[in-house]
A and B are shown apart, each in its own frame.
Chain A
């Protein structure tokens, strides 16, 4: 299928999952991601897959746990409050070394918050929303096409490293329509899932899916082993877009749909004579620390822009490591900065002078 289609982000993510071989979806409705379960409920039966609306998010994520344990390609989706409910299950899935894909179409928080787009679940996504020593690979698409490509890749990444992968979008991405093409893709080399609990048929020892290690030494070994894998991922799975950052004064850093607004701002600022570039992480864990650190040698300052009170900015500061000042501008609760808001911030940082 290579026809260009006009699709909503939520629907495109769903179709991408199916094309990646996902045949199990467990979810529970919440705005602004309802088109995902709606699409899955229509489409899954047609590909001999299973769609199930669970009685709660907690239940849905534990169904994901079960399907993942049997080696199936499985996905769930929700939005912020629902993702909070899933955190226990996500920790168990990470602890049991199981692959799955979790979509978070973020809305304003905390609590029930609102239903408009936000990026305030960054900490929850990249710093371990559940308990224990674990991480998720977190992919942050900024267009509907990228959401498609990343969703497909997410299943491969999950299987390759036996860990949950999160697609972190926001209400804008989920609700907007853009042209998309479902290209054929080259799947990664995935080892056969010999660990799955699929029934022994009396031919092998039972596989055990478990996250309980009573002996502290065993648990430590398990965590150390997992973090060795994380180190490998940090080296090999970082994705970042660096736009015109040579010889600039201010580097704007943003991810997801916010990065689109930031690129519009960059264009306006450049027309007004400000030397600005953009760094856009496509993965927020692993974080593009190296790319940012490198640009910090030549740029004069950084401005992180988020739809939150300031979360990713902490990782930017760690990456810049004191080399240059790091500023923050954000709107929250569902408010979205406009390109002009950002240009004003650039002017403020420049002290009115074109650095």
Chain B
């Protein structure tokens, strides 16, 4: 259990933005890479439109507590999530912000801030629900913790039969984020 090696990611946003799914993809990709992983959703009175988040740990060692206190990466897809979690990010960690939905700047200066208008980019490709994949693509590029290839493999496993069309769209959104500068 080497805590320093563990990657602890919190993804937060509104219910319906796909934060749970994005987290699940990171966990599945980690698993495919033979890492130890855990995925923990918030399961309070959250619902579509309410706030939702998930905690994902990818580690070389067995995962201890599945609850993340200080994430190495925080990905926020709305303003309430930034307000709630900004101060928890581990110094030196990464904070990724969907600037299309967050209307303020990050105030922390001891972390790396990555801004991307993920939801707008998804809208531009005609799929307003894929902002989660756009920002995930950017995260893959920023951290290199899992490969694009593995995430796509995980994606193929996660999409149920009969909905293969969605795989292509999701991959497209991932690539838009991955290639965004």
Contact = CB atoms under 8 A, between A and B. Distances in A.
A43 interface: no
B98 to A, nearest CB: 24
A261 interface: yes
Nearest to B67: A336
A246 B1 CA distance: 19
B107 to A, nearest CB: 24
Contacts of A178: 37-39, 63
Contacts of B39: 6, 176-178
Given A175-B40, A178-B37, A257-B66, 19 more contacts: A6-B24, A6-B27, A6-B37, A6-B39, A116-B44, A172-B67, A177-B27, A177-B39, A178-B38, A178-B63, A179-B37, A260-B63, A260-B64, A260-B66, A261-B67, A264-B1, A267-B1, A267-B3, A338-B69
A338 B31 contact: no
Q: How large is the interface on A (under 10, 10 to 19, 20 to 34, 35 or more residues)?
A: 20 to 34
Contacts of B63: 178, 260
Interface string A111-122: 000011000000
B66 A339 contact: no
Interface string A170-209: 0110011111000000000000000000000000000000
Interface string B30-73: 01000011111101100000000000000000011111010000
Nearest to B20: A177
Interface of A: 4, 6, 31-32, 115-116, 171-172, 175-179, 257, 260-261, 263-264, 267-268, 336, 338-340
Contacts of A6: 24, 27-28, 31, 37, 39
Given A260-B63, A268-B3, A338-B67, A31 B28 contact: no
Given A6-B27, A32-B43, A264-B3, A340 B69 contact: yes
Q: Which 3 A-B pairs have the closest CB atoms?
A: A264-B64, A177-B39, A261-B65
A57 B64 CA distance: 34
B30 to A, nearest CB: 9
Contacts of A257: 66
User: Looking at chain B, what size class is its interface with the partner chain?
Assistant: 20 to 34
Contacts of B27: 6, 177
B1 A263 contact: yes
A179 B65 CA distance: 15
Contacts of A115: 43-44
Nearest to B41: A175
B41 to A, nearest CB: 6
A32 B40 CA distance: 13
Nearest to A32: B43
Contact of A260 (B24, B44, B65, B69): B65
A105 to B, nearest CB: 11
B65 A338 contact: yes
